[in-house]
Structure 1
């Protein structure tokens, strides 16, 4: 859904790239202009090589190369002053069979394309403005690599619609992948305030930062937190020693990728089945999964152990996490959010139709 227009750092505005692949309008216009010039040059060459079959009714001094270019120009643009005309029968035949189609092609390529590009560019600006006005309470994912895509897949499995997810990445291939997955996307540096503002970061309810370099992640976290003091910001870092810096930068939660993988490896080495259970809960769509949901009215007043079909491992009350062994979590109250371990649910036909419609 979003790409940066050419000259991104030179002041051009970043527009949202909707889920489709498109060519830059300026590049397309330049390409068509080259074709138009080639058609004009070909017409000039035809007239110049057959110049003896033409007459200059004004100068009466023959047809020069400049006259041939002049004739080609006024002909392909349908101006047609009539001061230079073909007099030989074969020249008139060439005009009818070759130069006239070249004239039509010139008009289609240049004039038609110019109108189309300007109309499309205006349409894109309007769509960008409309998208920004309705975008709120969304999730911004900075970095659409392996971790970012996995985070997006988890969000969508948990019920977040695709039109409430926005991707920011510097790689144009990642932007194309995000568009293919049905997501809006911006190409550019997520440490730039103007780009984050284009993604309506101030209205986002959550931000996921999954970049390859911890230093860039820290700077992106600082910038995001300055623009949105209340959103939940989840940051992935490679090294545990950088966790305090990321937290000081304003991250709500920090995930250490290398330490997490190392802990999973250690658990698997201690007991393969233990490692299998942990990996099972981290893998969506099969086996066990961790889920967060709102407490149902009929569950109010019951202990967490009374919930059927799920195991409550924690609940969130008034914004505070209370684990299952906490005495204050002995009874479920209305408004609580439950964190449960449950059997992974295969997507229903309704879910599949929704995903298909989003993409």
Structure 2
């Protein structure tokens, strides 16, 4: 019983993207209107051929009797108090009224079956989604920072099916689903919520919550579930960055300080501010990417590489292009370079945007 209750909760907490369809109320209203139209058409057919019918109560057939006959006939009740007696009326019942009865039943039964199978269909979609989700990206928080992060990772070639959004707001999850992303409604500081997002199988986790203390708790929970995932966190205050690093974050972005530095740079040099803003917008103008050293570059200095090298990643160290410790490039090194973005192109699997 507990397992069934949990499955029921999961079904209603996970929101998968779906094609835009009519509102259920509008669908039901449309089908009821079609059924009513069939009822009116049948009643008119019977009334126009009223001389071919007999009523056991008074022998005559008026408009109300025609509607009554149409109702009991289409609903397959058939009391037998009004019956077709002429050949024309019987042929009309065979070739016209009977098909209308079948259509009437299909409309009503179809509406009922659709309502009954909706939950089963959703559970099937959810189970299929779980079974195919591997090495995906979990984004906690669908605010301005979260949306921008998703836009950036998707610009590198990540498919929307590989992104799962977690947010406590149902409206935010509805917006994420409308954009084509799967969503989980709930508090990401709770492990069961992150489990619904399959965070323990995620390749990378982006945490963009509104509060720094929430970000710390989410980071601790995410790291406990997934030891190998790359976790990137955005915080407001720079003093909280060391705490997040201790909590398991691989990278911490201080949004307030970063915005302040960009503002200061733009005051000193508007052009430099524009260049920096261009660099952090993936897919336009200039992009900053991380890529491996190719064989042809081994033994060369960073200045001799065709791309504009900014830094060299050697082991766990990030060395400047002019650092004396760099020396000659090694095959195990990775380069942070500035390249010209090509509109419509995707980043190769082994090339990563610096701001992912």
Aligned match of 2:328: 331
Deviation by residue 1:17-73 (Cα, 9 ceiling, x = unmatched): 23523468x767876797699789999x99xxxxxx99997x99xxxxxxx999887
The separation in 2 between residues aligned to 1:20 and 1:174, in whole angstroms, is 13
**How far has the Cα of 1:194 moved from its partner?**
3.6
**How far has the Cα of 1:279 moved from its partner?**
2.1
Q: Cα–Cα, structure 1 residues 196 and 251, in superposed 2: closer, same or farther, change >3 Å? A: same
Q: Cα–Cα, structure 1 residues 172 and 157, in superposed 2: closer, same or farther, change >3 Å? A: closer
Aligned match of 2:212: 214
Which of 109, 112, 124 is the aligned partner of 1:111? 109
Aligned match of 2:3: none
- Structure 1 portions without partners, runs of 5+: 1-6, 47-52, 61-67, 353-359
The separation in 2 between residues aligned to 1:210 and 1:188, in whole angstroms, is 15
1:20 pairs with 2:15: no
* Aligned partner of residue 314 in structure 1, secondary structure: strand
Structure 1-normalised TM-score?
0.70
Which of 296, 302, 308 is the aligned partner of 2:300? 302
Q: Cα–Cα, structure 1 residues 175 and 283, in superposed 2: closer, same or farther, change >3 Å? A: closer
1:255 pairs with 2:233: no
- 1:29·1:117 contact (CA, 8 Å) conserved in 2? no
The separation in 2 between residues aligned to 1:119 and 1:28, in whole angstroms, is 18
Q: Cα–Cα, structure 1 residues 282 and 40, in superposed 2: closer, same or farther, change >3 Å? A: same
The separation in 2 between residues aligned to 1:242 and 1:9, in whole angstroms, is 38
* Aligned partner of residue 82 in structure 1, secondary structure: coil
Aligned match of 1:189: 186
**How far has the Cα of 1:228 moved from its partner?**
1.5
- 1:76·1:107 contact (CA, 8 Å) conserved in 2? yes
**How far has the Cα of 1:141 moved from its partner?**
1.8
Aligned match of 1:289: 287
- 1:166·1:199 contact (CA, 8 Å) conserved in 2? yes
Q: Cα–Cα, structure 1 residues 329 and 123, in superposed 2: closer, same or farther, change >3 Å? A: farther
Q: Over aligned residues, Cα RMSD in angstroms?
A: 4.5
1:174 pairs with 2:175: yes
**How far has the Cα of 1:233 moved from its partner?**
1.2
Structure 2-normalised TM-score?
0.70
- 2:35·2:107 contact (CA, 8 Å) conserved in 1? no
The separation in 2 between residues aligned to 1:251 and 1:73, in whole angstroms, is 68
* Aligned partner of residue 255 in structure 1, secondary structure: strand
Aligned match of 1:228: 226
The separation in 1 between residues aligned to 2:271 and 2:184, in whole angstroms, is 42
Q: Cα–Cα, structure 1 residues 101 and 321, in superposed 2: closer, same or farther, change >3 Å? A: farther
The separation in 2 between residues aligned to 1:124 and 1:186, in whole angstroms, is 14
Q: Cα–Cα, structure 1 residues 250 and 30, in superposed 2: closer, same or farther, change >3 Å? A: farther
**How far has the Cα of 1:246 moved from its partner?**
3.4
The separation in 2 between residues aligned to 1:40 and 1:238, in whole angstroms, is 63
**Matching of residues 43-58 of structure 1 within 5 Å:** none
Which of 310, 313, 321 is the aligned partner of 2:311? 313
Aligned match of 2:354: none
- 1:158·1:291 contact (CA, 8 Å) conserved in 2? no
The separation in 2 between residues aligned to 1:154 and 1:81, in whole angstroms, is 65
Which of 273, 276, 279 is the aligned partner of 1:278? 276
* Aligned partner of residue 329 in structure 1, secondary structure: coil
